[in-house]
Amino acid sequence: MRVLGQIATLVRKDLLLEWRGRTRGLSVVLFGIVTLLLFSFAVGPDSAALRAGAAGFLVLALLLSSTLALSEGFRLEHENHALEGLLLAPVEPMALYYGKALSNTLFLILLAPILTPVAVILYAVDAGPATLVQVIGLWALAAAGLSAPGTLFAAMTSRLRSQDVLLPLLLFPLVVPVLLGSVKAIALVLGGDPMGQLSSWTVLLGAFDVIYWTLSGVLFTHVVEEGV
Amino acid sequence: MNEMAMPEGVIGGGWTYVIAGYAITAIVLAAYAWILRRRLRRTENAEDER
Amino acid sequence: MKRLRWDAIIGLVGLLMLLVGSYIGLFAAPPERHMGEVQRLMYVHVPTAWISMLVLTAAFGFAIASMWTGRPKWDAVMTGATETGVVLGALLTVQGMIWAKPTWGVWWDWDVRLTTTLIMVLFFTGVLVLRSYVAEPERRATWSAVAVIVGYVDVPLVYFCVRWFRSLHQVQSSPETVASTMITPLRINAFAMLFLAIWFVARRSRLELARLRRESVALPPRRAPRGTAVPEAPQEG
């Protein structure tokens, strides 16, 4: 119970900070939009090809934005030794991890209502409100999958000078199941699912989320024992 | 040999690929052994100097 | 004359066996009926696959041991196994490409095992890079052990998602039925690879232990002040 209360407090703190420093969040959103735009330039004005790749572009925009959001999250904590203060408070390391991972997930989920409509318009995808809700649901699963190992790696790399290189280097190969699962599932939602494969991809995403939310929480305790 | 025979015939001209495969294997294994030897020697020499 | 160390003996035995096994595989074993001569690649490719997987599994075990005990010994062996796994995995990927070209007509076919191997090689290379950036030994040990555990758990997930991803295109069968005349060189080479891998892991662990000893002499025992995590100087020459 105490841990749950701590997690809630930490999430509230992170979201409050996020709200106060709106420009930071805004720049991640803008980064996502620019990425979506660049993909359409890379493929060219071929609307059929754009529509076919829409799901992939959308998830890649999420993935690229996530590295920005994840590395920023811990950078803030290191200013003024805020992290040590939290651990001395004393906040349970596990609560610290789940609080951070949860606020990262929430932040990434908040990107969906902005980036998904942009993608739908740019790539001329036929999508009604029901489809959009489904896409946002899958987006949330993907965001959770990225945040779980992402928060762990961000904690480990946040004090290293080369974090910007190291975090994607570790995170991108690891989240291939998230990437494949969400791209396939979103493509099936957008383009129709004649063979009923949507559920297996969703289960894969869910399995990844469950495994990594559990494992990373346990491992994080050891990570902060050595001092982040 | 293979009961589930496939309709196509034998793939010809395979020796080039076989030689390439064995050569790559030999090169990678030898190179890694050599690199390890060099690194080990350098580290242990530095240790002796101390 | 220096006395031969046990790992040197294992390495030599491995080398000899690899030569013998490859000779039988190349010249004594019959060509396969459909794959023709290309099939001879199997005698190095399949052992590399088995042993690279085995070595990474060992790295996972060593990572758990390293986290459990906190002993530098396990950290060193884990590093050895991870690096050997990366080297063998990279070799495996190249061998796979060389085999894919004559059989499937393309260098890269998104084959399940090959793709999974490539992704794992990339991840574990990242772990080695992470190690080289963390200056403080205890922190480095914990963090790389955590990364190895996290990465190893990912292997089955990657495997399944690549398989499903592939199955939407076409099913690729690979030659699994092996005649008895082909088993002998395969077995010999599998053990040869195993011995060579043990030798690599032993050598690399020795190197890591030597480095750790050097660090503990060079660094004051007190932890460096916070905010000064400087990357090590490049070690490769």
Whether C144 and C78 have beta carbons less than 8 Å apart is answered as yes
When pLDDT is cut at 50, 70 and 90, the band that residue B11 belongs to is low
Facing residue for C36 by CB, picked from B4, B12, B37: B12
Q: Which chain A residues are within 8 Å of C123, Cβ to Cβ?
A: 170, 173-174
Contact between chain A and chain B (3 or more Cβ pairs less than 8 Å apart)? no
Q: In the prediction, which pLDDT does C136 show?
A: 87
pLDDT given at position C120? 95
- Which pLDDT belongs to residue B7? 44
Question: Which positions 158-177 of A are in contact with C (Cβ < 8 Å)?
Answer: 159-162, 166, 169-170, 172-174, 176-177
Q: What is the pLDDT of residue A227?
A: 61
Confidence of residue A91 (pLDDT cuts 50, 70, 90): confident
CB proximity C105 to A under 8 Å: no
C168: DSSP letter: T
Tell me if B42 and C179 make a contact (CB, 8 A cut-off): no
Cross-chain residue pair B28–C207, CB shorter than 8 Å: no
Which runs of consecutive H residues, i.e. helices, occur in chain A? 2-20, 22-43, 47-78, 82-88, 93-122, 129-157, 163-174, 176-191, 198-225
d(CA C117, CA C93): 7
Of C26, C101, C214, the CB nearest to B47: C214
Q: Do A211 and C119 touch (CB under 8 A)?
A: no
CA dihedral over B8, B9, B13, B18, signed as positive or negative: positive
Parse chain A into domains and list their residue ranges. 2-225
Q: Is C189 in contact with C43 (CB distance < 8 Å)?
A: yes
* Mean predicted lDDT score pLDDT of chain C: 84
- What are the structural domain ranges in chain C? 6-171+181-211
Residue A121's contacts (CB-CB under 8 Å, 6 or more residues apart) are: none
Give yes or no for residue A108 having a pLDDT over 70: yes
- B34 — contact with chain C (CB < 8 Å)? no
pLDDT at C52: 95
User: Which residues in chain C touch residue B12, judged by CB atoms under 8 angstroms apart?
Assistant: 36
Test C134 with A160 for CB contact under 8 angstroms.
yes
Confidence (pLDDT) at C108? 87
Q: Measured between CB atoms, which of A166, A184, A226 is closest to C138?
A: A226
**Model pLDDT, residue C235:** 46
Partners of residue C36 on adjacent β-strands: C32
The predicted structure's pLDDT at residue B8: 53
Chain-chain contact of C161 with A180 (C-beta, under 8 angstroms): yes
Compare CB distances from B15 to C37, C48, C207 and report the shortest one's residue: C37
- Is the Cβ of A74 closer than 8 Å to some Cβ of chain C? no
What's the number of CA atoms in the CB half-sphere (13 Å) around residue A61?
28
The pLDDT assigned to C103 comes to 82
Helix/strand/coil for B26: helix
Concatenate the DSSP letters of all residues of C173-231 into one string. -------HHHHHHHHHHHHHHHHHHHHHHHHHHHHHHHHHHHHHHHS-SSPPPTT--PP
The alpha-carbon gap from C158 to the nearest alpha carbon of chain A, in Å, equals 5
Q: Which of B10-14, C67-71, C142-146, C227-231 has the lowest mean pLDDT?
A: C227-231
Radius of gyration of chain A (CA): 18
Amino acid at A171: L
Render pLDDT for A138-169 as a digit per residue (tens, 0 to 9): 999 999 999 999 999 998 888 787 888 899 99
**Maximum Cα interatomic distance, chain B, rounded to a whole number of Å:** 69
Q: How many CB atoms lie within 10 A of CB A9?
A: 14
- Note the pLDDT tens digit of each residue in A1-23: 688 888 888 888 888 888 887 88
User: Angle at Cα C218 formed by Cα C217 and Cα C220, nearest 5°?
Assistant: 85
Tell me if C44 and B22 make a contact (CB, 8 A cut-off).
Answer: yes
Residues of chain A found within 8 Å of residue C149, distances taken between Cβ atoms:
215, 219
* pLDDT value of residue A185: 93
CATH number for the domain formed by residue range(s) C6-171+181-211: 1.20.120
The interface pTM score, or ipTM, of the predicted complex is 0.89
Beta-bridge partners for C32: C36
pLDDT tens digit sequence for C154-164: 999 998 888 88
Residue C178 pLDDT class (50, 70, 90 cuts): low
